[in-house]
């Protein structure tokens, strides 16, 4: 039997080769054959793969977060000194730094995140601001030539400075392109909602497998998209305003079914509200602090006579 060291090194080599551009069907078949040879091979390969892929999630998030709260760290900016050093060297040697070279120098990517119940405003270097709602992760790469923001999850309100350079929000496969305007984007997996408060935005789907038309929406409109299907609601100004009440630290409901309102609360708190029975469809209205589940539940009990049962982890509401 070959020793662990050997097996582990072969497993590491396979794992690394897999990320290389020359990886082929033939490689895949050979890896499979190697794995099938022995459970020792599988154990070693799976063990390495498991942690190596976990580290991929750091990339998915962009730069490394600190331990808690809003984070900002720019691992990628580390590489800027190289680019600068190279262009200085080029200048000294009298070689003009080419446009191509500049375009390959990576723009610094900054990551920001808010915890459950968090709310944070971020100022970007172009003068635009982004409000992050609860449990939201974004990455931003803003330079003089391009402005890109990736909404990895959650909800963000953008107030974009007009600079003549398109500002692109990547929400999964959906691209929201604007010049200067105010709008919010909410992303939950592949479900994306765009609400416009001022100006106009263009929403397109970058997923080449599913060509879908580009939609342009203006003030007071809401666009909801999932995969290649898109729904636009015009003249929904009050709904747009209401959906942005979180920026003032409030949740606003107007004839909202209680079941939906509960889900909205649950986006902000570990302590969850569950609604059962007919109470789910009961329409409610009003403004509430998202953190004050207790007051909300009390109101439901006093004003609507609903049954409220509170446990340390959840509040159960029924009729």
* Number of residues binding to other proteins, judged by CB under 8 A: 42
Buried b (16+ CB within 10 A) or exposed e, 214-245: ebebebbbbbebeeeebeeeeebeebbebbbe
- Report the alpha-carbon distance of residue 201 to residue 75 in Å, rounded: 31
Site for other proteins in 23-82 (CB under 8 A): 38-40, 42-44, 46-48, 50-52, 54-59, 61, 64-65, 67, 75-76, 78-79, 82
- Report the alpha-carbon distance of residue 126 to residue 137 in Å, rounded: 20
Return the number of the residue (42 or 280) whose C-beta is nearest other proteins. Answer: 42
Taking the complex as a whole, how short is the minimal distance between the CB of residue 15 and other proteins, in angstroms? 6
Using the rule CB under 8 A, is 15 a contact of other proteins?
yes
Q: In what order do the strands lie in the sheet with 272-275?
A: 272-275, 314-318, 307-310
**Binds other proteins by CB under 8 A, chosen from 13, 28, 190, 298:** 13
Report H helices in 127-167.
Answer: none
Site for other proteins in 90-149 (CB under 8 A): 106
Count, in order, helices (H) and strands (E) of the chain: 8, 18
Using the rule CB under 8 A, is 18 a contact of other proteins?
no
Return the number of the residue (15 or 179) whose C-beta is nearest other proteins. Answer: 15
Using the rule CB under 8 A, is 8 a contact of other proteins?
yes
Distances (CA, A) of 37 to 83, 147, 182, 190, 319: 46, 50, 58, 39, 60
Taking the complex as a whole, how short is the minimal distance between the CB of residue 185 and other proteins, in angstroms? 23
Taking the complex as a whole, how short is the minimal distance between the CB of residue 29 and other proteins, in angstroms? 15
Strands 147-159 and 182-188: antiparallel
Taking the complex as a whole, how short is the minimal distance between the CB of residue 237 and other proteins, in angstroms? 37
Phi then psi for residue 227, to 5 deg, are: 60, -125
Return the number of the residue (134 or 181) whose C-beta is nearest other proteins. Answer: 134
Beta-ladder partners of 159:
129, 182
Taking the complex as a whole, how short is the minimal distance between the CB of residue 290 and other proteins, in angstroms? 21
Return the number of the residue (3 or 313) whose C-beta is nearest other proteins. Answer: 3
Longest C-alpha distance within the chain, in Å? 81
Binding footprint of other proteins on the chain (CB under 8 A): 3-9, 12-13, 15-16, 19-21, 38-40, 42-44, 46-48, 50-52, 54-59, 61, 64-65, 67, 75-76, 78-79, 82, 106
């Amino acid at each position: 039997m070959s020793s662990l060291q050997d097996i582990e090194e072969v497993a590491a080599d396979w794992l690394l080769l897999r990320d290389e551009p020359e990886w082929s069907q033939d490689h895949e078949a050979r890896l499979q054959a190697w794995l099938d040879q022995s459970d020792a091979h599988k154990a070693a390969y799976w063990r390495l793969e498991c942690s190596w892929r976990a580290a991929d999630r750091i990339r998915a998030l962009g730069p490394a977060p600190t331990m808690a709260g809003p984070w900002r760290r720019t691992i990628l900016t580390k590489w800027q000194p190289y680019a600068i050093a190279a262009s200085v060297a080029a200048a000294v040697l009298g070689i003009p730094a080419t446009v191509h070279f500049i375009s390959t120098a990576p723009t610094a990517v900054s990551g920001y995140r808010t915890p459950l119940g968090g709310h944070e405003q971020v100022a970007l270097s172009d003068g635009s601001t982004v409000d992050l709602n609860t449990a939201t992760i974004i990455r931003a790469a803003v330079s003089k030539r391009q402005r890109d923001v990736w909404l990895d999850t959650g909800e963000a309100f953008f107030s974009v400075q007009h600079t003549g350079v398109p500002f692109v929000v990547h929400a999964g496969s959906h691209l929201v392109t604007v010049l200067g305007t105010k709008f919010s984007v909410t992303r939950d997996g592949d479900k994306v909602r765009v609400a416009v408060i001022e100006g106009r935005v263009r929403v397109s789907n970058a997923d080449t497998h599913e060509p879908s038309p580009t939609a342009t929406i203006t003030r007071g409109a809401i666009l909801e998209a999932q995969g290649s299907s898109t729904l636009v609601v015009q003249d929904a100004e009050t709904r747009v305003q209401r959906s942005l009440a979180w920026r003032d630290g409030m949740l606003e409901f107007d004839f909202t079914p209680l079941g939906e309102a509960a889900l909205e609360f649950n986006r902000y708190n570990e302590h969850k509200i569950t609604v059962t029975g007919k109470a789910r469809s009961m329409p409610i209205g009003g403004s509430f602090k998202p953190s004050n589940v207790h007051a909300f539940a009390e109101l439901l009990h006093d004003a609507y006579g609903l049954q409220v049962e509170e446990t340390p982890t959840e509040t159960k509401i029924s009729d």
